[in-house]
Structure 1
Amino acid sequence: MKNVTVSMDDAVAEWARLEAARRNTSVSRLIGEMLADKMRHDDAYERAMREALEWRSWGKASGPYLKRDEMYDRSKPRE
């Protein structure tokens, strides 16, 4: 585990102390858990984005991307 110093506004520090007390934990652990949650969320988002961008390479979609006007054009049937 690594120790770090964090600077924050007084109001944020007060909220963190109250939230940590409500959760029966330390401010340090609270911040560590919040950062770990953010890291997992960002990793999941990046993974989903990669999968979405790779969708075309999996053969699930073919042809060129639709242009915005084509996407909303209701006069032509979809193929």
Structure 2
Amino acid sequence: MKNVTIALEENVAKWAKVWAAKHDSSLSRMLGNELKTKMNLDLDYDRAKKSFLSKKPQLLSSPGDKYPSRESLYD
């Protein structure tokens, strides 16, 4: 684990300490879990984007075919 120092507004620090205590946790663990969650969401998004972009684009219709008219799609 890596120790870091952060600066919080006094009211935010007080609220965070109370929240952590109510949830039988420490402020350090609470912040660590939140940051890990955000990191995992970011990594999941990057993986999904990479997977999507790695696939070859597909045509929606055969060459020369006309797309349906807007009216026929939204009747």
TM-score normalised per structure 2: 0.70
Q: 2:74 aligned with 1:74, yes or no? A: no
Count of residue pairs brought into register by the alignment: 65
2:59 to 44, 62, 70: 62
1:34 & 1:62 partners in 2: Cα distance? 41
CA shift for structure 1 position 8: 1.5
Q: Structure 2: how far apart are the matches of 1:10 and 1:44?
A: 34
What CA distance in whole angstroms lies between the structure 1 residues aligned with 2:49 and 2:11?
35
The runs of at least 4 consecutive aligned structure 1 residues that moved more than 6 Å come to none
Amino acid of the structure 2 residue aligned with 1:47 = R
Q: How much identity, in percent, do the aligned residues show?
A: 37
Tell me how far apart the structure 1 counterparts of residues 46 and 12 of structure 2 sit (CA, whole Å).
Answer: 29
SS of residue paired to 1:4: coil
Larger Rg: 1 or 2? 2
Q: TM-score under structure 1 normalisation?
A: 0.67
Q: Which residue of 2 aligns with 1:66?
A: none
Q: How far apart in 1 are the matches of 2:44 and 2:29? A: 22
Deviations 1:21-69 (A, max 9, x none): 11101101111111111111111111111122223x2x6x138xxxxxx
Aligned to 1:28: 28
RMSD: 2.1
